[in-house]
Amino acid sequence: MGKPLFFEILEKPATSCIIWICSLIWFYIQKKNIGYSQVGLSYGTAIEGQYWRILTSTFSHISVLHLVFNMSALWSLGVIEQLRSIGLGVEYYLHYTLLLVVLPELLVLGMHHVLIHRFKLEYFRRVTAVGYSCVVFGWMTILSMKQPSAKLQVFGFLSLPISFAPFESLIFTSIIVPQASFLGHLSGIIVGYAIAWGIIHGMNNYWAISMLVWIIAVFICSLKKSGIHNLGFLEIESVTDDSLPSVRFLDSETNRNLHMNASVVAAANLV
């Protein structure tokens, strides 16, 4: 018999927290009837400065099947938190999860930029991505390099040799789910190899905290500037250069005078 779920949760605290966060966000999206175009990331929304979508797109799932597939794979990959003896562990997991949340998304946007401007494929301007798949594929790749003898469990019964899992899963999801983002999953694999091979390295508590602070700052400022949601406590206005915003906090009296225009960006496809 396997270990009781309670003890597995204690052994995978970071993974368990992420699964809870993604599940609660999915529940909120369903309850509020939020569409993927409202939380997803596309090239079009990125060039408009809606950088907050990098976070919302990563942690959002629209269908329950999408959520279950990603979270079941992530739960299996949570074994990384227990492998401190080979240089992994909880700290390593948290540090590089931050990178895997951001870097694959930026890489996808770079690919879309080339496809749009070099090959004139305007379709990729509207392709909208949601889901934690990039991070899952990144960790899948790292584990395949660090512990190639491991097994990846999906849905609790499907077992894949971890050494082949990244590309097996890439092909499998592309066939079974035609709307799955091939470039998004491939970007997670590329960043995963870059981390596993030491091309991207040196993350520690200082850099992780610094990066987290910058992520939060960019998220709040871009969300406020985009005008999608009203963050009454924060005002962003231009100074000498229109491209350089200044940030100041408002008192409650001034806050009541703010008016924001909401806008929703339409997207062509779910990936």
Catalytic residue numbers? 133, 185
SS3 track for the chain? CCCCHHHHHHHCHHHHHHHHHHHHHHHHHHHHCCCHHHHCECHHHHHCCCCCHHHHHHHCCCCHHHHHHHHHHHHHHHHHHHCHHHCCCHHHHHHHHHHHHHHHHHHHHHHHHHHHHCCCCHHHHCEEECCCHHHHHHHHHHHHHHCCCCEEEECCCEEEECCCHHHHHHHHHHHHCCCCCHHHHHHHHHHHHHHHCCCCCCCCHHHHHHHHHHHHHHHHHHHHHHCCCCCCCEEEEECCCCCCEEEEECCHHHHCCCCCCCCCCCCCEEC
